[in-house]
Every structure is written in structure tokens, then in C-alpha cells.
Amino acid sequence: MGIGFRLRLCASAFGIAALACHPLAAQTQKGALVFSVETLAAQTLDPILEQRPGNAVYQAVMYDSLVGFDLQKGGIGPGVAERWELAEDGNSWTFYLRPGQKFHNGDPLTAQDVKFSLQRQMAPNSTASAAPTMRRTITGIDVVDDLTLRVNTNSPQIGLPASLSRAVAPEGAVMPKGYIEKVGEEEFRRKPVGSGPWKFVRNVPGDRIEFEAVD
């Protein structure tokens, strides 16, 4: 998909979900893809403030998830992590990240970013829908190396990969540790950065959110 292709989520006075595509988009890979939604009054582009999983569409276009969605078979599939395995005692999951991934600002995506993202989801100021469950079941997160992460739990959690998958919920969204620590949380919420197929362009509250396709 070319960089000249844009996605816009626009508020609709009709309250009807509609899909419109620029007539040249299919031929030139450029233009605008517009999704009309009932309201843009309460959306947030910071995953830790999203209390309604159904609104994850605002985030899914911009953030990659630790575990993804299998478009061929359905259910969970590779995401930021290409594979994962359960420890013999059942009390931890190890995730192995795909090499070479980068955020939209050029920063490399590493296990440190995944740990930081999961900790943000569990932080006291997080209102994410799954935050209470994560706080209750995850006891620690260890970075083994740049591409390996271990999530420790207080008991066997067979469904943990699914709960951190785009197929189920947005809590697996991976955010840039270095960028957020540099600019602060408020600036990150104004100008969010992810690693997904679309990068943030602008947000006009109550009117539209614009994203641009990345290679």
C-alpha cells in the first residue's frame, strides 16, 4: 500500500456506518478511504485510556499488537511476536519478537517497548478494560534480550496470548518507550506513534482522525 493512501475516520450526522473510497484508490493505491462513524466525541488514541474494546478500531490501524490475528485460519496469529511458548510449570509465557520492526518515528521496536507497554496497561492510571485482570494475574515481566520477553503469572494462564492479541482485545498494543519517555504522556496523546500499517496524521476532536499508510 503506497504512502499516498490516507484513512479518515469521520463523524457522521446520520449515525450510519459507511465506507467510501476515492475512485482512483484501487488503481493507483492513492487517495482517501473514509469510515463514517456515529461519534468521535470520546475516542482516545492512547491504549491505556480506552475503556471500550469495541472502539479499538481507532487504535488498531496505528498500533501493532504483541499477538496478531490469523487472516487465513481465524483466531490468534503472529503479531509483533512471531511465536510464543508456555513454560513447563505453566507460570510464564515467553514471546519471541520478529526482528527488524520499527515505530513510525524510526525507533527500533524491542522487548523493552513491549514490557513498557504492558506495564502502562497495568499502571494505576490505566482505565483499559482488561487492566484489572492483568494486574491480578501478571506478577512480573522480564526482558531476556532485545527480541525475547517473559511474562510471569501467578498461576497457569492458558489464554494469555489470546488476551494480548488483536483478535480479542487492545491491551496487547505496543507503544514506543523512548518516545513517550522523551515527550511525556500528554504530548504522546496529542501526537501518538505506533508501528502499525497506518501512522497518525492529525486529530480534529469531534470531526475526524486522519492516518497515512506506511510501507
Q: How far is 209 from 207, CA to CA, in rounded Å?
A: 7
Nearest to 163 by CA among 133, 201, 205: 133
**Domain region containing 162:** 44-195
H or E stretch including 207?
Answer: none
Strands 92-97 and 138-145: unpaired
Q: Is position 149 within any domain?
A: yes
Pair 66, 123: CB distance under 8 Å: no
The b/e string for 141-162 (b: 16+ C-beta within 10 A; e otherwise) is bebeeebbbbbebeeebeebbe
Domain count, the chain: 1
Strands 148-153 and 67-69: unpaired
Q: Is position 17 within any domain?
A: no
Q: Is position 122 within any domain?
A: yes
In tens digits, what is the pLDDT along the chain, a chain of 215 residues? 444 556 665 554 333 333 333 333 344 556 677 777 666 656 678 989 876 555 556 677 899 999 998 878 888 999 999 999 999 999 999 999 999 999 999 999 999 999 999 999 999 999 888 899 999 999 999 999 999 999 999 999 999 999 999 877 778 999 999 999 999 999 999 999 999 999 999 888 778 888 999 87
* Residues facing residue 10 across a β-bridge: 36, 208
Name the one residue in this structure whose C-alpha cell is 484489572: 132
Q: Is position 142 within any domain?
A: yes
pLDDT value at position 60? 78
pLDDT value at position 55? 53
Q: Is position 159 within any domain?
A: yes
The CATH number assigned to the domain holding 86 equals 3.90.76.10
Q: Which pTM was predicted?
A: 0.84
Q: Give the gyration radius of the chain's Cα atoms.
A: 18
Q: How far is 15 from 10, CA to CA, in rounded Å?
A: 11
Pair 63, 173: CB distance under 8 Å: yes
